[in-house]
């Protein structure tokens, strides 16, 4: 394996690729221009020692993060924590995209060179991941040395195998979107503030400019049939289904070869094309490779590639970058003969005042302010519960306050307080001595509801539908409050109705325990406290422990229950 210095020398002197990794020797010598490999159907993902690998997109550092970035991070983290709840080793990768024309121009506008600009501007995204309690394993910057090594390696392999060629290219280019658009996808637009006319992308509304240049192209058009076959074999590859259909329709309409470099005299901030110092690698090719970089490609030895996590189990992305992840990315992976990611979760946007949040227009919500005002677990809970996967969602502080009061303070928090602090009963005794199952129909129906909840939640999470999973858990919380109110255990006398009292309290305590375990990926800090308040052992907080009646050792609090220590969700104060 060549070291970094060796690769640099090779890049400047030859177009011959180093060992491509993850490819058998026979394939290595083949010219794959005419035959696309089937490595995308690899069974590497089923290896028992492969960790669950989930990724967020890497975020552009041309402006500060907004609530949409927080939403993406939370969705990603919930999936990572869910699989950890299942007892699986899980890896989460996030980070920042720091190359490209947009960054180069933003740095120049700020009166800075690109490197110090990125060194400063990536910090808020790292801090946001920390503030959101994201349990990330890798925070990548595309300006990192290990990432450059991966990108150069990929370029040389694609060049060696004949997937890259040079030609003159002209078309409508959007600096904001960092992509060329066909003539049919641009239109004349007018700036309402100034009346200035300009050409813009129909899809994004961003300004485009006519560009003519000589650069390198990727033979993506040759992969049309392979992509369509893959989509047919994997109809649930993209969530939701509507975006899967959109991608299929776009590829069926035909694929053009992809321009994958820019003249260095126009774009100097990026990774130079190996052996071609006058060209810079296209920012999206550069950015997409981050998922491989942190999966340790191409550094792991043959037979152990899966140990780095690849193929990714799920890419979490916004709907505005579907084309890059669902067409460009699998095409590049097919050309490299690497396994494709197992799923792609695409989510909708948050709107503010019925307009899409946008850094360029200033229509954004500061995520740090939101976390400071409502708390990190509240924001995580709210974003998953109200956030859109298929359709956009409206963001409003009044919605958060309403949901908090009903769902967290008055729902879950009130339930925990009523059950754990009831003076007319003992949770520990109820867990130990709840006796025979109740014959009352209300109790039997409620118990059946608790028994169904884990499997139902699991089904939603397997479909990448964390919002529905969370809603089902919360519905059980509301049902438990209703059950408690209906059975009114405070009206029972301990001496005369102990068995009935214990039956009621046990059912409520079991509901809190099961829901508390299932809610850990969504609200990790508060559920840690809840399970401590209930006295659940640390090793009994996994999905396997959500079976009804599986734990009879809890009921004695592991923390102080006095004063504010015994309150799970405090009332929102005036400064909130």
Query: pLDDT tens across 493-521, in order?
Result: 766 788 899 999 999 999 999 999 999 99
Question: Does residue 213 carry a pLDDT above 60?
Answer: yes
Average pLDDT, stretch 76-93?
98
Give me the pLDDT at residue 439, please.
Answer: 77
Question: Does residue 355 carry a pLDDT above 90?
Answer: no
Average pLDDT, stretch 532-554?
97
Q: Residue 514 is encoded by which pair of tokens?
A: 């099961």
Q: In the beta sheet, which residues pair with residue 63?
A: none
**Within a 10 A sphere around the Cβ of 350, how many other Cβ atoms?**
22
Average pLDDT, stretch 402-407?
96
Residue 357 and residue 68 in contact, taking contact as beta carbons nearer than 8 Å = yes
| Average pLDDT in the chain | 89
Residue 430 confidence class, pLDDT cut points 50, 70, 90: very high
Distance (Å, whole) CA 335 – CA 288: 14
Give me the pLDDT at residue 362, please.
Answer: 67
Q: Which of 256, 338, 354, 272 is nearest to 305 (CA)?
A: 338
Q: Whole-prediction pTM value?
A: 0.87
Q: In the beta sheet, which residues pair with residue 189?
A: 198
**Within a 10 A sphere around the Cβ of 10, how many other Cβ atoms?**
18
In degrees, rounded to 5, the angle at the alpha carbon of residue 268 between the alpha carbons of residues 267 and 270 is: 95
Lowest mean pLDDT among 65-69, 168-172, 213-217, 407-411: 168-172
Distance (Å, whole) CA 409 – CA 404: 6
Domain ranges (residues) in the chain? 397-566
Higher pLDDT: 53 or 364? It is 53
**Within a 10 A sphere around the Cβ of 399, how many other Cβ atoms?**
14
Lowest mean pLDDT among 146-150, 166-170, 219-223: 166-170
Helical pair 123-131 and 67-85, crossing angle rounded to 10 deg: 50
Give me the pLDDT at residue 361, please.
Answer: 64
Distance (Å, whole) CA 311 – CA 46: 10
Q: Could you name the CATH architecture of 397-566? A: Orthogonal Bundle (1.10)
Which secondary-structure segment (H or E) carries 186?
strand 186-190
Distance (Å, whole) CA 417 – CA 402: 20
Residue 263 and residue 170 in contact, taking contact as beta carbons nearer than 8 Å = no
């Amino acid at each position: 394996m060549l070291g970094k210095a060796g690769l640099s020398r090779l890049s400047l002197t030859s177009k011959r690729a180093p060992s491509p990794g993850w490819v058998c020797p026979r394939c290595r010598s083949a010219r794959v221009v005419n035959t696309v490999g089937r490595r995308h159907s690899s069974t590497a993902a089923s290896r028992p020692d492969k960790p669950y690998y989930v990724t967020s997109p890497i975020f552009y550092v041309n402006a500060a993060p907004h609530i949409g970035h927080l939403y993406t991070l939370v969705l990603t983290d919930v999936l990572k924590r869910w699989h950890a709840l299942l007892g699986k080793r899980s890896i989460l990768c996030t980070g920042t995209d720091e190359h490209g024309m947009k960054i180069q121009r933003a740095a120049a506008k700020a009166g800075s060179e690109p490197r110090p600009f990125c060194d400063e501007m990536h910090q808020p995204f790292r801090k946001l991941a920390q503030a959101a309690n994201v349990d990330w394993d890798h925070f990548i910057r595309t300006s990192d040395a290990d990432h450059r090594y991966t990108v150069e390696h990929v370029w040389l392999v694609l060049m060696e195998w004949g997937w890259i060629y040079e030609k003159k290219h002209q078309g409508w280019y959007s600096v904001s979107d960092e992509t060329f658009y066909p003539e049919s996808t641009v239109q004349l637009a007018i700036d309402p503030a100034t009346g200035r006319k300009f050409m813009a992308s129909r899809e994004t509304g961003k300004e485009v400019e006519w560009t003519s240049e000589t650069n390198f192209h990727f033979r993506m058009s040759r992969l049309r049939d392979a992509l369509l076959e893959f989509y047919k074999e994997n109809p649930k590859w993209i969530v939701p289904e509507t975006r899967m259909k959109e991608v299929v329709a776009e590829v069926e309409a035909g694929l053009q070869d992809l321009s994958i470099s820019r003249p260095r005299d126009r774009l100097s901030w990026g990774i130079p094309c190996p052996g071609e110092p006058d060209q810079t690698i296209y920012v999206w090719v550069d950015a997409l490779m981050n998922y491989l970089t942190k999966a340790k490609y191409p550094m792991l030895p043959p037979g152990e590639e899966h140990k780095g996590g690849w193929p990714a189990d799920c890419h979490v992305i916004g709907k505005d970058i579907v084309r890059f992840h669902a067409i460009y990315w699998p095409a590049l992976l097919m050309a490299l003969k690497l396994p494709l990611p197992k799923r792609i979760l695409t989510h909708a946007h948050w709107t503010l005042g019925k307009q899409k949040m946008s850094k360029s227009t200033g229509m954004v919500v500061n995520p740090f302010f939101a976390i400071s005002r409502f708390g990190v677990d509240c924001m995580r809970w709210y974003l998953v519960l109200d956030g859109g996967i298929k359709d956009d969602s409206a963001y409003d502080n009044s919605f958060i306050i309403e949901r908090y009061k009903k769902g967290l303070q008055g729902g879950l928090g009130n339930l925990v307080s009523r059950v754990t602090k009831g003076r007319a009963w003992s949770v520990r005794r109820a867990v130990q001595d709840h006796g025979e199952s109740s014959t009352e129909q209300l109790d039997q129906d409620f118990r059946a509801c608790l028994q169904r909840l884990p499997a139902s939640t699991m089904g939603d999470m397997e479909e990448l539908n964390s919002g529905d999973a969370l809603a089902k858990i919360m519905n059980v919380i509301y049902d438990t409050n209703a059950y408690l109110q209906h059975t009114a255990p405070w009206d029972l006398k301990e001496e005369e109705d102990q068995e009935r009292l214990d039956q009621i309290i046990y059912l409520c305590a079991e509901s809190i325990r099961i829901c508390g375990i299932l809610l850990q990926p969504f609200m990790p800090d508060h559920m840690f406290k809840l399970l401590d308040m209930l006295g659940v052992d640390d090793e009994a907080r996994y999905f396997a422990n959500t079976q009804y009646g599986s734990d009879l050792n809890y009921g004695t609090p592991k923390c102080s229950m006095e004063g504010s220590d015994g309150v799970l969700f405090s009332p929102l104060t005036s400064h909130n």
